[in-house]
Amino acid sequence: MGETPVATSERARLREVRLKILHLHKALLEIERKSYERIHGTINSGELLQLAINHPQFAWLRLVSALARAN
């Protein structure tokens, strides 16, 4: 059985929202990175990933990450 037109439309809207959340997440991550770097100096992308996963300063952003991962 295929999806109804409404279900297909809703899935398309959810994909759009997810993409917008991903773009927002990227922008917020960059803002938080710059804030961190002002205090601690320049970091590379690997360090940023570790900070995003483990550092308390980035904890609030992990909630946005969870939204972006949701299907």
Parent domain of 9: 5-69
34 versus 67: which is more confidently predicted? 34
Q: Residue 26's pLDDT is what?
A: 93
Q: Are 60 and 52 in contact (CB under 8 A)?
A: no
Q: Residue 24's pLDDT is what?
A: 92
pLDDT range class, residue 57, cuts 50, 70, 90? very high
pLDDT range class, residue 71, cuts 50, 70, 90? low
Residue by residue, DSSP assigns 8-52 as: HHHHHHHHHHHHHHHHHHHHHHHHHHHHHHHHH----HHHHHHHH
Question: What is the C-alpha separation between 17 and 36, in angstroms, rounded?
Answer: 28
The model's pLDDT over 1-52, given as tens digits with 9 standing for 90+, comes to: 567 877 889 999 999 998 999 999 999 999 999 999 999 999 999 999 999 9
